[in-house]
Structure formats: C-alpha cells, structure tokens
Structure 1
Amino acid sequence: MATVQSRSPAGVTGPGRAAIAARQLRTDRWWLAPAVTVVALAAFVVYATWRAFTNTDYYAAPYVSPFYSPCLSENCVEMQGGPNWAVLGDWWVLSPALIFLALPLGFRLTCYYYRKAYYRAFWASPPACAVAEPHQRNTGETRFPLIVNNVHRYFFYAALPIAVILTYDTVLGFRNAEYEWGHMGLGTLIFLVNIVLVWGYTLSCHSCRHIMGGRLRHFSAHPVRYRLWTWTSRLNGRHMELAWGSLFSLALADLYVYLLATGVFDDPVLF
C-alpha cells in the first residue's frame, strides 16, 4: 500500500489537477463490490463477536469450535479427550475465545488483501478504480492505527501455531461421541474443508511467499526454497478466494458446533 502523503491539500480537486466536474465517469455498477464487502465483513464481525462473548455451546463431542481453540483456562467446558489445556488456571474469568482472538484477527486485519477490501469498502479510499475518494488527504500507513499493518509478517508467525492446533482439532473429528476412532460425520467433512482453506489462506500469504524466496539473489543456489517459493506464488494468486473461503468456513464450522451443542440436530454419520 502507498505510504507517501498526498501533497495536494484538496485531493483530486486540488490545484494542478485536471478540472473534471464529475466525481467519476464509470457507467458500470462499481459500487456493488464494495457494498458486498461491507455486508459480508460486517456480518462476520457481528457473528464472531457474538459467539466469542457468549462463552457457551462451543463443544459438541468430538468437535470444538475454531473460535474457542485452544482452550487454556479452567472455565472451559469439559472436553474429554479434547484440546483442553488449562495452563492459565482459574484467573481468566472471561470467555476463553478472547485469549487468542487477537492473533488470527490481527493476521487478517493486516493482510494485504483484506486491507485493500476494507480500505475500499469502509473508508472509500478509494472506493473503486477510477473513482475519486472523498478524503482531502492521504497519509497512507504512516500513522496510528494503520501503521500497525506493517507488522503483518509477525502476525503470520503467530497464525501458524493456530493453524496447527486447528489441524489437531480436525484429526480429533475422526472420533465419534464416545471418542472412538474410525468415525466420520458431516462435521468431520466440514472441519476438513475448513482446515484446507485455513492452510491455503495462511500459506498463500504474501509474508509466507517472501519468507520462502525473498532476498535470494540466486534461486539456483537455493533449489528447495525456490520450489517452495514457486508453490506459494501459485497459491498467492488465489489469495483473495482463499481469504473469503476460509472466513466463511470458520464461521460455518463454529455455527455447526453451535447447532450440535444446542441440540438442533445430531451429527449425521457418513461412516
């Protein structure tokens, strides 16, 4: 993202700029994409906030909601044979979902794609290509809070162990309600799809691509890292789709556990 401050105090209408009366000359529905982004992201934020603070109905054997894993406090519900490590003791009295909420949230908020999405959708900066933004000046990411976006690569390091833990949760989904292995329910399939999308989004991250091959002067001298860089580059081309897909799958996995925990229906057994 650009970090150079605009020299014109009046933005696109300042002196020295072309005198075009119209705000934009596009005739298509350019506003549709940012409008959909606003609705989708706002819906996820509202849903995830509600679920994080409810502090209930996040475990239905053998599934644990991805919003509440790992569960590190003693006020977690009993998860027999599940990922419940009460290493924090009883001092944490809030929802256990709030312990690690900042890590995946920070990873997505600072993500290059999501920054483009919410800059356009919520701040209209700019709302679309060839559409003037309403702001008179642009400081880019040089001031708080947007300057925090520059630590994206560190949130990437924090997101990796979360993805590993969610993989562990997915493996535990191959047990039945009696914790016997060799089971596969609809929830198992949902968690499988979710973890594939989560790993796809995580590994397609621009920071991951830079770690694999950034600052290498000669790819020929680093054949392994070159292969990894090539692979992550291909994934990076699908970063937008993986970002939305993993966001939807996380909410779907949590919703599925919630419906099971509240007794709306039983987990259909596939085999």
Structure 2
Amino acid sequence: MTTTATRPGGTRPRAAISAKTLRTDRWWLAPLLTVIGLTAWVTYATVRVFMQSDYWVAKYHYLTPFYSPCVSKGCVEEAAEFGRFIPDHPLIPYAALTLPFLLLFRLTCYYYRKAYYRSFWMSPPACAVPDGHKTYSGETRFPLIFQNAHRYAFFAAAIISLINTWDAVVAMHSGDGFGLGLGNLILWINVIMLWAYTLSCHSCRHIAGGRLKHFSKHPVRYRFWTFVSKLNTRHMGLAWITLATLAITDFYVMALSIGWISDLRFVG
C-alpha cells in the first residue's frame, strides 16, 4: 500500500513507497553468478599457485601461465627461462615476480571493479536496487584509492603478456625440433585472448589516443586508438574469457604433467 507525499512548494504529489525496490525480476541472479564464478576461479588459482608442482611438461616445453616466469630456485631448470633467484619456500609462488602485478591489474580493472562492487560489496547490487552501505566515499580513501594504480599496472600486464608469448614460442620447439600439438594451440589461444584483454583496457585506450587535439596529425595513434576502442567494447567478455583460458591452459598442462592424458600431436 502506498501513500502520497507533497513535494516542496506544493507541487504535484509523489508516491511514497515503503519497499526498498519494486523490481520483481531476478535482479540478484547476476551478482550471485559473479560471486560464484570469481570465488571458484580464485580458489582454483590459489590452490594451483601454491601446489608448486605439475606446471612443466619437459617433452614439449609446456609451461603453465600460473608459473610463468618460473623464477624460484625450486623451479625445474629447463622451465626457468629467466633464471632462478627467488627463494624456494612453500608460501612463495614460483612466479612471485609477476603474480602481484597481475593481481593488481585484475583487481583495479574497470570491469572487475564493477563486478565485485556489485556482487561482493552490494554497492549497488543492481540498477534501481538500494546500495548495501549507508555511506559512500568513492575511490578517494583507503583502500579504494589504490584503484588509481590501474594505469600503471597496465604496463606490467603488457610485459607479462610478452613473457607468455615467449613461452608459447618456446613450446613450438621441443627436443626433436619444431612441433605442434593440442597443447600449443591451447597456449596460443590463451596468449591471444590475454593480449586482447590487455589491449582492450581503458588505460590502453587512453594511452593510444589521450591528450591528442588533432587525430589527423597522428594517423598511427589514431588507427591504434580505433582498434583498441573496438576491443574496449568487449572488455567485459574478454575479462571472463581470459579467466577461462587461463584455467583451461593450466589444467591441461597439469594433466599432461601428472600423466592423466597424452598430448594430441599434429607435427613432431
């Protein structure tokens, strides 16, 4: 039941609704699925990162992206393309050099911020649904002020994508020379998707076309900005796709390393 409330100045009355929201659709489904999806991925990734095993297939030079670059003194020597200089400790991931930057890049990503703000923090959970918090200070106070580090984390993510690309190239050359298997295809699909996600970043778009007054005087940057802008419209989809490709790539390499399956070879 609703009543009416008179607006200031005696203008037309407005309905006073006691309910928090009049939405009758399943507005809670999207936040719920986001919580389930992100929690499942983080759980799997955390377990795998700290397993410190089953990350390398010596026969085909397959290295899972969760352990790249493998710079711990506990790494298999053949998998350590960039040397081994981090102490070997159960609580230190083998790829401790890059994982913090990847985590920072993902956590501060504009899409992921929207995703976990709405799902985990209920701020707000959906359009036309009240915020789960009484106050809101934006991203101007600790700890959310660190969201502004996203523009810098982008450069680290780009370097890490180069490292993942190098891993895919190395995997094309096994001990018997050039080779191509299902594992290679999975590694390359993951790398391509990672580059698409990284380049579709809002920070990349700003770097490409920001602070330009005349695109006509910078045709190369304009073309790159146009390309990045097209990718940017798919940033949300690419964010989820890369989570899937990372997990699939890691699981495939792990399954090969343990001996659960054999790699399907096309060449070599």
TM-score, structure 2 normalization: 0.89
Alpha-carbon distance between aligned partners in 1 of 2:178 and 2:143, rounded to the nearest angstrom: 48
Q: Which has the larger radius of gyration?
A: 2
| 1:34 matched to 2:40 | no
User: TM-score with structure 1 length normalisation?
Assistant: 0.88
> In angstroms, what is the RMSD of aligned CA positions?
1.7
**Structure 2 partner of 1:10:** none
Alpha-carbon displacement from aligned partner over 1:222-253 (angstroms, at most 9, x marks no partner): 11111111110000001011111011101111
Identity of aligned residues (%): 55
Could you give the per-residue CA deviations for residues 1-20 of structure 1, whole angstroms, max 9, x where no partner exists? xxxxxxxxxxxxxxx99843
**Following the alignment from structure 2 to structure 1, what is the Cα–Cα distance between the partners of residues 257 and 84?**
25
**Higher RCO (CA < 8 A, seq sep 6+):** 1
Counterpart in the other structure of 1:85: 82
Residue matched to 1:66: 65
Please say if 1:210 is aligned against 2:201.
no
Question: Aligned residue for 2:147?
Answer: 149
> 2:19: which partner in 1?
22
Q: 2:134 aligned to 111, 133, 136, which one?
A: 136
- Aligned 8 A contact 2:75 2:84 in 1: no
Q: Is the 8 A contact 1:52 1:98 kept in 2?
A: no
Give, in angstroms, the shift of residue 213 of structure 1: 0.3
Deviation at 1:214, TM superposition (A): 0.7
SS of 1:98's partner is: coil
Structure 1 CA distance for aligned equivalents of residues 227 and 205 of structure 2? 9
Deviation of the 1:142 alpha carbon: 1.3
Secondary structure of residue in 2 paired with 1:246? helix
Distance in 1 (CA, whole Å) between partners of 2:100 and 2:128 is: 35
Of 79, 93, 96 in structure 2, the residue corresponding to residue 95 of structure 1 is 93
- Residue of structure 2 equivalent to 1:230: 226
> Which residue identity is paired with 1:242?
L
- Unpaired runs of at least 5, structure 1: 1-15
CA shift digits 1:116-171 (9 cap, x unpaired): 00100100100011111121111111111111101101000111110001001111
- Contact kept in structure 2, 1:73 and 1:85, CA below 8 Å: no
- State the SS of the aligned residue for 1:270: strand
Question: Counterpart amino acid of 1:158?
Answer: A
- 1:219 aligned partner: 215
Per-residue deviation at 1:217? 0.9
In 2, distance between residues paired with 1:180 and 1:174? 10
Residues 1:20 and 1:256: Cα distance change in structure 2 (over 3 Å)? same
Structure with bigger strand share is 2
Alignment-mate amino acid for residue 74 of structure 1: K
Please show how residues 172-211 of structure 1 align to structure 2 within 5 Å: 172-176=170-174, 179-211=175-207
